[in-house]
Structure 1
Amino acid sequence: MKSKTCRSLAVVLLLFLPLTSTPSGAANLQFPVKEWNHPFKPFRLIGNIYYVGTSNLACFLIQTKAGLILIDTAMQESAPIVRGNIESLGFKLTDIKIMLASHAHFDHVAGHADMKKATGAKVYASKADAVIMESGGKKGFHPVGDYKPIKVDKLLNDGDVVTLGEVKLKAHLTPGHTEGNTAWTTTVEENGKTYNVVFAPSMSINPGVLMVNNPTWPKVAEAYGKSFQVLKSLPCDVFFGPHAPFFAMEEKVRRMKPGQPNPFIDPEGYQKFIAGYEKAYQEQIKREQAGKGGSN
Structure 2
Amino acid sequence: MHALDLHFTHQSKASLTFRAPDSSLRTAFWASLILLAGAAPMQAVLPSAPTQAAVMRMFDAWRAPVPPRHLLANIYYVGASGVSSFLITTPEGHILLDTGFDDTVPIIREGVTQLGFKLTDIKIIISSHAHIDHVGGHALMQKLTGARIYASAGDARLLASGGTDDFIPFPRETIVYAPVTVDHVVADGEHVTLGNVTLTAHLTPGHTRGATTWTMDAVVDGALRRIVFFSSTTINAGTRLLHNPLYPEIVREFETTLTRLKALPCDIFFAPHGGQFGMAEKIARLDRDETPNPFIDPDGWRNLVTRAERTFRDQLAAERAAERNSGPDR
Q: Report the TM-score when normalising by structure 2.
A: 0.80
- 1:109 equivalenced with 2:135 (yes/no): yes
Say if 2:28 and 2:54, in contact at 8 Å, map to a contact too. no
Give 1:62's aligned residue.
88
- Matched position secondary structure for 2:322: coil
* Number of aligned residues: 280
Equivalent-residue separation in structure 2 for 1:253 and 1:39 (angstroms): 17
Equivalent residue number for residue 29 of structure 2 = 16
2:222 pairs with 1:192: yes
Deviations 1:161-198 (A, max 9, x none): 10001100000001100000000000011242110000
Answer yes or no: is the 8 Å Cα contact 1:126–1:157 preserved in 2: yes
For 2:159, the equivalent position in structure 1 comes to 133
Q: How far apart are residue 14 of structure 1 and its match?
A: 5.4
Q: Are residue 263 (structure 1) and residue 289 (structure 2) matched?
A: no
Partner of 1:274: 305
2-side partners of 1:198 and 1:290: how far apart? 35
- Secondary structure (helix, strand or coil) at the match of 1:32 reads helix
Find the partner of 2:97 among 65, 71, 80. Answer: 71
Q: 1:216, 1:236 → 2: CA distance?
A: 33
Identity, % of aligned positions: 44
- Per-residue CA distance 1:250-281 (angstroms, 9 max, x = gap): 11111113363211110000010111111011
Task: Tell me how far apart the structure 1 counterparts of residues 196 and 303 of structure 2 sit (CA, whole Å).
Answer: 31
**CA separation of 1:29/1:216 partners in 2, compared to 1, >3 Å: closer, same or farther?**
closer
Please list, as runs of the form range in 1=range in 2, the aligned pairs for 1:192-271 lying within 5 A after superposition.
Answer: 192-256=222-286, 257-258=288-289, 260-271=291-302
Corresponding residue to 2:319 among 282, 288, 296? 288
Displacement of 1:41 in angstroms is 2.2
Cα 1:111–1:20 shift into 2, 3 Å: farther
SS at match of 1:184: strand
Contact 1:131 1:140 in 2 (8 A): no
- How far apart are 1:20 and its partner, in Å? 6.3
Cα distance in structure 2, aligned partners of 1:36 and 1:128: 26
String of CA shifts for 1:138-182, please: whole Å, max 9, x gaps. Answer: 113337500001121001111111000110000000110000000
CA distance 1:222–1:172, change in 2 (3 Å): same
1:34 equivalent to 2:60? Answer yes
Give the whole-Å Cα distance in 2 for the aligned partners of 1:203 and 1:106. Answer: 16
Cα distance, 1:117 vs structure 2 = 0.3
Unaligned runs of 5+ in 1: 1-7, 22-26
Taking the aligned partners of 2:306 and 2:55, their CA distance within structure 1 comes to: 30
Distance in 1 separating the partners of 2:239 and 2:148: 32
Secondary structure of 2:193's counterpart equals strand
Rounded to whole Å, the distance in 2 between the matches of 1:15 and 1:44 is 32
For 1:84 and 1:192, locate their aligned partners in 2 and report how far apart those are by CA, in whole Å. Answer: 31
What amino acid is aligned across from residue 103 of structure 1 in structure 2?
A: H
1:24 alignment partner in structure 2: none
Q: 1:61 to 1:14 in 2, by over 3 A?
A: farther
Alignment map for 1:76-87 (pairs within 5 Å)? 76-87=102-113
Q: In the alignment, is the contact (CA less than 8 A) between 1:137 and 1:149 conserved in 2?
A: yes
Question: CA 1:157–1:146 in 2, change beyond 3 Å: closer, same or farther?
Answer: same
Q: How far off its partner does 1:55 sit?
A: 1.3
**Matching of residues 165-180 of structure 1 within 5 Å:** 165-180=195-210
8 Å Cα contact 2:129/2:231 also seen in 1: yes
Distance change in 2, residues 1:66/1:176 (3 Å) = same
- Aligned residue number for residue 9 of structure 2: none
CA distance in 1 between partners of 2:298 and 2:71 (Å): 15
State whether residues 126 and 151 of structure 2, in contact with CA within 8 Å, keep that contact through their aligned partners in structure 1.
Answer: yes
Q: Is the 8 A contact 1:173 1:227 kept in 2?
A: yes
Q: TM (normalized to structure 1)?
A: 0.89
Inter-CA distance 65–15: structure 2 relative to 1 (3 Å threshold): farther
Q: Residue 217 of structure 1: CA displacement?
A: 1.5
Higher relative contact order (CA 8 A, sep 6+): 2
